[in-house]
Structure 1
Amino acid sequence: MSYRVRFSVAVVVAVLLQPVQAADLRGYLHIVGSHSMRPFADAVADKLAKSKKVKRPWVESTGSRGGIKLFCEGAGADAPDIVNASRRMERREFDFCRSTGVKNLVEVKIGYGAVTLARLKKQEPLRLTRKALYLALAKEIPDPACAGCDTFVRNPFRTWKEVDPVLPDVEIEVLGPPEGSATREVFSDLVMEGGCVGFPAAAAMKDRDAAGFDTLCRTIREDGAYVRENPDKLADKLSARPGAIAIMAYNQYFTHSKTLDAVSIEGVTPSADSVTSQQYPISRTLYFYVKGDRVGKVPGLAQYIAEFTHDRAWGDKGYLVAKGLIPMPAAERKAAAGAAKALKRVSM
């Protein structure tokens, strides 16, 4: 074999091995994704760091959608190893992952959560429905001056009492996450669409004009009634806005439950029981996704999966439950832990 041929082969081999070698050289686990799941990831990362066997994983809050995009952008060493997602990965995201070479994708179901509407304690009770929330927050709503009409107008409501006479005469002021947040997406799916579809004109549009239906039902007003805030700061922001409501993850509410009350939706308040049973209307399942082919190559990845799926972490009395994770039943945890240990590939 000539020198030129040997050199070419060496270059090709070096290029092919570069991602794995670079991942080894990085020396630590890189995690991105959901703001609301950050406390869980940090708690597990801290446990690993205390063992002094691996470096503390680098955890970033990017939002679920943004995190999945970063995670799926490539199989190279610079791309994250894990993404936290407070809703299941969508098919189009899964397909994007595969198109960039991220094919050995492992889904780890970790437990349950909920989108919670919270407000400061010691206020007049506020019992809401999905219909009331849609009417309070949508940019356009059915014309309230023309019952039975198919006309939609710019939202004129300024107080909850205008939305529904049984509600308090308090200004509508809702703090919530921006677009791209999974909490916002779940709220749009289950609350905004759920309230909107109760109006015949909107329901008729759903099959006829899906894009128009999405715009009509999911677009939130921009006149000050809804205030976009950093999801990590929502609880703190409420202290300066006594009459406001914040849309936040259940674990964020749980952490601040000494100062906050949860608003009931359709007569149900969020709790471990109401979420696990799916009685609470804005319940959701929490996941993280792993690049399975990096296990054994990226230091700390196997240990992170094992620690997170151990009962001392996600069990009924685990340290993640103390941070607001709603645990799965024991049999469900056992199945999820087994799938994670086996690095079972996700299928969609």
Structure 2
Amino acid sequence: MKKMILATAAFLLGATAAQAGEQIHIVGSSTVYPFSSYVAEELGATTNLKTPVVESTGSGGGMKLFCAGNGSDTPDFTNASRRMKDKEYTTCQENGVKYITEAVIGYDGLAIAQSKSAPAFNITRKEMMLAVAAEVPNKEGNALIANPYHYWDEINPKFPHRKITVYGPPTSSGTRDAFEDMILKGVCKKMDVYTNLYKADKVKNKKYKKYHGIRQDGVYVPSGENDNLIVQKLTKDTEALGIFGYSYLVENADRIGAATIEGIAPAPETVQDGSYKLSRSLYFYIKHANQKHADGMMDYANLFMSEKMIGDDGMLSEIGLIPLPEAMRETYRNNVKNLVRMTADTLKK
């Protein structure tokens, strides 16, 4: 792997005047962090611009900083492993961050990983849900109870007597949001025992509130925004599973491997064709107003979106980014080049 400068200097809201107009500041997703840092290094190495400062705050944390306002004391970009939420867009607008461009850089597979020394492990999305949900169906299947499962063979007798421990992202993480969407909400919405909780409500036209409660009894262990820490934990706890983006699986293939989901392992081909069911898009967002404070913002954005970086044979594919189809790359590249403004309607598409 090419050497990367992982810019870890903390982003301070009280940035000095000397920094203003000199250095780009980027916050957000730990999943996008390696890609963003790679592009930052390349910009610093190939231009007269200073290498941007990149901080891993989590997608949610990055959105809070990004949407706090404009100016040299706020981030110029935020990365995200899920799309900006409606309420985040509203916060941006209320705080004067009215001109934003959205870019999609590629795909990512949400990996359920384990130690390389652990036996092969294949699970379904429902079995994973039953392992981490705060409440699960009782034996009769007509009511929910506090999750009693502590070993995998309690969920499926065909599984080994293996302790359930899952190291995963915190609530500020876009990876956590994606995991809840695809594993909890995605499974529970098809199970009457969950949907009936809301059907009992007699408020007319009340929408079903998707279940996404994760247990808090020590089985699911929030492990911060540094996904490398999860990798380290898996090498020591060989019975545990960990949740992070596909790129960390690629980077640490000598130490960790993937559990298969319904018989399919995460790989560029299975993510692109949708056969791996835990797939998602990766984003970054540009704050137009900060161009007058930070030098080279568009140089960075256009480099990130270039074929050199996100193409089929781009540099970022070497560290785990899964490319978009060519036509989609061209669309998002043009959106960035022309600073196409994001609107509330954009989020509905």
Shorter-chain TM-score tier: 0.7 to 0.9
Structure 2 counterpart of 1:110, from 105, 108, 127 = 105
- Aligned counterpart in structure 1 of residue 55 of structure 2, from 51, 60, 64: 60
Structure 2 gap segments, 5+ residues each: 1-16, 345-349
Distance 1:206 1:106 in 2: 37
Shift of 1:279: 2.1
Residues in 2 aligned to 1:331 and 1:259: alpha-carbon distance in whole angstroms: 36
1:239 match: secondary structure: helix
State the distance in 1 between where 2:199 and 2:168 align. 29
Aligned Cα RMSD in Å? Answer: 2.0
The alpha-carbon deviation at position 265 of structure 1 amounts to: 1.4
Identity of aligned residues (%): 37
- Cα deviation for residue 320 of structure 1 reads 0.9
| 1:46 CA displacement | 0.6
Matched-pair contact (CA < 8 Å) for 2:134–2:215: yes
Structure with the higher fraction of residues in helix conformation: 1
Structure 1 position 125, deviation (Å): 2.2
SS at match of 2:330: helix
2:85 paired residue among 65, 90, 98: 90
Written as runs of structure 1 = structure 2, the 5 A alignment for 1:212-251 is: 213-214=209-210, 217-230=211-224, 231-232=226-227, 233-251=229-247
**Superposition map of 1:317-328 within 5 A:** 317-328=313-324
Give 1:266 deviation, angstroms. Answer: 2.3
Q: Helix, strand or coil: the match of 1:295? A: helix
More displaced 10-residue stretch of structure 1: 236-245 or 262-271: 262-271
Q: Identify the range of structure 1 (260-269 vs 175-184) with the bigger mean alpha-carbon deviation.
A: 260-269
Name the residue aligned to 1:347: 343
Instruction: Report whether the alignment pairs 1:275 with 2:267.
Output: no
Tell me which of 258, 281, 286 is aligned to 1:285: 281
Q: Does the 8 Å CA contact 2:97/2:289 hold for their aligned counterparts?
A: no
* Mapped partners of 1:106, 1:208: distance in 2: 42
For 1:289, give the aligned amino acid: Y
Which residue is 1:11 aligned to? none
Superposed, which structure 2 residues align to 1:105-254 within 5 Å?
105-144=100-139, 147-149=140-142, 151-206=143-198, 213-214=209-210, 217-230=211-224, 231-232=226-227, 233-254=229-250
Inter-partner Cα distance in structure 2 for 1:24 and 1:170? 52
Q: Please give the alpha-carbon distance, in whole angstroms, between the structure 1 residues aligned to 2:276 and 2:200.
A: 30
Contact 1:114/1:282 (8 A) holds in 2: yes
The CA distance in 2 between the partners of 1:328 and 1:341, in whole Å, is 17
In structure 2, the residue matched to 1:27 is: 22
Deviations 1:174-195 (A, max 9, x none): 1111111111111011101223
1:59-115 per-residue CA deviation (whole Å, 9 max, x = no partner) reads 111100010010001113211100001111011111111111111110111111121
User: 268-277 vs 287-296, which deviates more?
Assistant: 287-296
- Equivalent residues of 2:21, 2:293 under 8 A apart: no
**For the Cα contact (< 8 Å) 1:177–1:228, is it kept in 2?**
yes
Does 273-282 or 283-292 show the bigger shift? Answer: 273-282
The change in CA–CA distance for 1:186 and 1:293 in structure 2 (over 3 A counts) is same
1:148 corresponds to which letter in structure 2?
A: G
Q: Helix, strand or coil: the match of 2:315?
A: coil
Secondary structure of 2:236's match?
Answer: coil
In 2: Cα distance, 1:193 partner to 1:265 partner: 17
**Inter-CA distance 52–227: structure 2 relative to 1 (3 Å threshold):** same
Asked whether the 8 Å contact 2:35–2:316 carries over to 1, the reply is yes
2:31 paired with 1:36:
yes
Q: Which residue of 1 aligns with 2:5?
A: none
Using the alignment, how far apart are the partners of 1:48 and 1:284 within structure 2? 27
Over 3 Å counting, the alpha-carbon distance change for 1:207 and 1:314 in structure 2 is: farther
1:340 positional shift: 0.7
CA-CA distance at 1:253 after TM superposition: 1.1
DSSP-derived class of the 1:118 partner = strand
SS of the residue corresponding to residue 167 of structure 2 reads strand
Structure 1 gaps of 5+ residues are 1-21
User: What SS does the corresponding residue of 2:91 show, helix, strand or coil?
Assistant: helix
Range that drifts further, 245-254 or 265-274:
265-274
- Matched AA of 2:267: S
Distance (Å, rounded) in 1 between the aligned partners of 2:200 and 2:63: 31
After TM superposition, the structure 1 stretch with the greater mean CA deviation from structure 2, 334-343 or 199-208, is 199-208
Partner of 1:79 in structure 2?
A: 74
